[in-house]
Amino acid sequence: MYKTIVIGTGPAGLTAAIYLARANLNPLVIEGPEPGGQLTTTTEVENFPGFPEGIMGPELMANMRKQAERFGAEFRTGWINSVDTSKRPFTLSLEGGETLQAETLIISTGASAKYLGIPGERDNVGRGVSTCATCDGFFFRGKKIIVVGGGDSAMEEANFLTRFASEVVLVHRRAELRASKIMQDRARENPKITWMLNRTPLEVHATGMGVTGLKVLNNETGKEEVIETQGLFVAIGHTPNTKFLGGQIETDEIGYIKVKPGTSETNVPGIFACGDVQDNRYRQAITAAGSGCMAALDCEKFLEGSAVHDWSATLS
Ligand code: NAP
């Protein structure tokens, strides 16, 4: 039985683990299918404070993990099938049948950017294909970029990318945009954005050196076209990784965990959430790390005030 289990090893989970380990709470940290989280899929991170020359995403995450291990955090790989939050200690059921119990949980399972699922896309992530303009826009200075999507994220990414790109082409599969009027207007007023609506992406073209184009189906003419580009930003939404919770923790309509404002507390006492799994707005490594610190401190306070011995007694 653990005092606390941290689920997820992005910047939020690892920061929580560093704080919990330094507080002698011996956290168990469960690494899922993407150890290190979204930053391991990017190249250079230039906006994480403390690294004036930048740092590679995987290296930053490896450093955070080492830092947590140094203070005694225990790591294990596992896929959590389900969680029982109805009583403390909470029970986690892992794939393979094993169960784990903990007095508190910190959920930092992140959100996964949605991909188009077309040929050439995944192979070129970090080599011209990106899902994060804030992270990677800088590398496309003076280049032509395509943004795919018709929602607020796509409008925001397209506008942001015009700071760097020579031209941003917005490709959307329908003629109507899903984005709010204000975001659409802002993008439409931007002279650097051109529009290719009613186009369904089919394939990313690339050489070993990077992306060269996007093949699309023109839904008006029924013909295929290739749009030349040096970068492709996929902005078709994110999916918070909360399915395994089976609806036991309160979320918004998309699935992001709701926390009490200004804290990491979920609707279940003893369960805390941090990072992108509860943040549909900022989604930055540094904000995730900050919220991981909050979750660890909230968890520590909770354990200090909790009747830990009473729960243990119910186990026997
Ligand atoms: P979203 O509103 O769900 O929009 C996703 C867009 O991607 C839609 O236009 C959709 O096309 C398209 N899409 C989805 N799957 C696709 C596929 N397989 N192939 C091609 N296109 C695909 O997602 P979002 O833009 O990330 O926004 C999510 C939420 O965050 C929204 O509530 C939004 O308002 C909010 N948000 C707000 C701001 C802001 O206010 N500053 C910024 C970003 C996000 P269809 O329209 O054809 O379905």
List the domains of the chain with CATH numbers: 2-113+238-314 (3.50.50.60), 122-234 (3.50.50.60)
Q: Considering only CA atoms, which residue is closest to atom 17 of ligand 1?
A: 116
Q: Which residues of 140-172 are buried (b: 16+ CB within 10 A; e: fewer)?
A: beebbbbbbbbbbbbbbbbbbbbebbebbbbbb
In this prediction the pTM is: 0.77
**pLDDT band, residue 168 (cuts 50/70/90):** very high
User: Please, what's the largest Cα pairwise distance for the chain?
Assistant: 70
Q: Which of 152, 239, 245, 228 is nearest to 194 (CA)?
A: 228
- Residue 314 pLDDT > 60: no
Distance from residue 202's CA to the centre of ligand 1 (Å): 19
Q: Considering only CA atoms, which residue is closest to atom 46 of ligand 1?
A: 178
> Among 43-47, 163-167, 261-265, whose mean pLDDT is lowest?
43-47
Question: Which amino acid is residue 31, in one-letter code?
Answer: E
Question: Which amino acid is residue 200, in one-letter code?
Answer: T
**pLDDT band, residue 316 (cuts 50/70/90):** very low
Are 205 and 213 contacting, i.e. CB atoms less than 8 angstroms apart? yes
The finding on whether 149 has its CB within 6 A of some atom of ligand 1 is: yes
How big, in percent rounded to 5, are the helix, strand and coil portions of the chain? 30, 30, 40
- Quick: pLDDT tens for 270-286: 999 999 999 988 989 99
Instruction: Ligand 1, residue 152: give the atom nearest the CA.
Output: 25
Are 76 and 7 contacting, i.e. CB atoms less than 8 angstroms apart? no
Instruction: Ligand 1, residue 180: give the atom nearest the CA.
Output: 34
**pLDDT band, residue 41 (cuts 50/70/90):** low
**pLDDT band, residue 307 (cuts 50/70/90):** very low
The Cα-based distances of 257 to 11, 132, 193 in angstroms read: 17, 21, 34
Q: Which of 33, 84, 23 is nearest to 296 (CA)?
A: 23
In whole angstroms, what is the distance from residue 14 CA to residue 162 CA? 34
**pLDDT band, residue 309 (cuts 50/70/90):** very low
Are 261 and 96 contacting, i.e. CB atoms less than 8 angstroms apart? no
The finding on whether 153 has its CB within 6 A of some atom of ligand 1 is: yes
What would the mean pLDDT of 153-179 be, rounded to a whole number?
Answer: 96
What would the mean pLDDT of 215-228 be, rounded to a whole number?
Answer: 98
pLDDT at position 141 is 96
Of 129, 153, 196, 276, best ligand 1 pocket probe by most atoms within 8 Å of the beta carbon: 153
- Residue 66 pLDDT > 50: yes
**Alpha helices, H only, 91-151:** 133-136
Evaluated on CA atoms 65, 71, 77, 81, the torsion sign reads negative
- Residue 162 pLDDT > 70: yes
| Top-confidence residue, 70 or 112 | 70
Q: Is 274 an active-site residue?
A: no
Q: Which of 288, 21, 262, 18 is nearest to 134 (CA)?
A: 288
Are 28 and 129 contacting, i.e. CB atoms less than 8 angstroms apart? no
pLDDT at position 35 is 86
